[in-house]
């Protein structure tokens, strides 16, 4: 029978792998929690609960923030247009991208 320390280490390792899976999938505009839950062999509810407890954000909020972070890097360090960056980040339009940036950063895209 595993000790409490071993059980804790195993649970921590599972959470780390789980968060790493979410982190990698955040760059995929088609990533959805249903697919992630199936890949991790958890129910969707359990997946959300574990992730929120571990990271402090919902999966949706985390993925949105990661995509915005990657988009901000592209805005600063690339010559791509805002529309191209918005589409690469998984947004349907430039307006949707602007709205998300404004809502999450409280600044217009030109001020990033």
Dihedral sign, Cα of residue 44, residue 64, residue 58, residue 8: positive
Q: What is the pLDDT of residue 26?
A: 62
Amino acid 77: pLDDT: 93
pLDDT at 9: 79
Report d(CA 110, CA 82) in Å as an integer.
10
Q: What is the pLDDT of residue 23?
A: 67
User: What is the rounded radius of gyration, in angstroms, for the C-alpha atoms of the chain?
Assistant: 17
- Per-residue tens of pLDDT for the chain, all 112 residues: 678 888 877 777 777 777 677 666 666 655 666 777 777 777 888 888 888 887 888 888 888 888 888 888 898 999 999 999 998 888 888 898 888 888 877 654 455 5
First to last CA, the chain: 53
């Amino acid at each position: 029978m595993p000790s409490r320390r071993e059980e804790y280490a195993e649970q921590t390792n599972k959470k780390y792998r789980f968060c790493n899976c979410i982190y990698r999938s955040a760059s995929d505009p088609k990533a959805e929690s249903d697919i992630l839950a199936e890949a991790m062999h958890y129910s969707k509810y359990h997946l959300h609960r574990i992730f929120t407890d571990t990271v402090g954000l919902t999966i949706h909020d985390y993925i949105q923030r990661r995509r915005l972070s990657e988009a901000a890097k592209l805005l600063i360090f690339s010559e791509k247009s805002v529309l191209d960056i918005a589409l690469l980040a998984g947004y349907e339009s430039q307006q949707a991208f602007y709205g998300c940036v404004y809502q999450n950063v409280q600044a217009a895209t030109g001020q990033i």
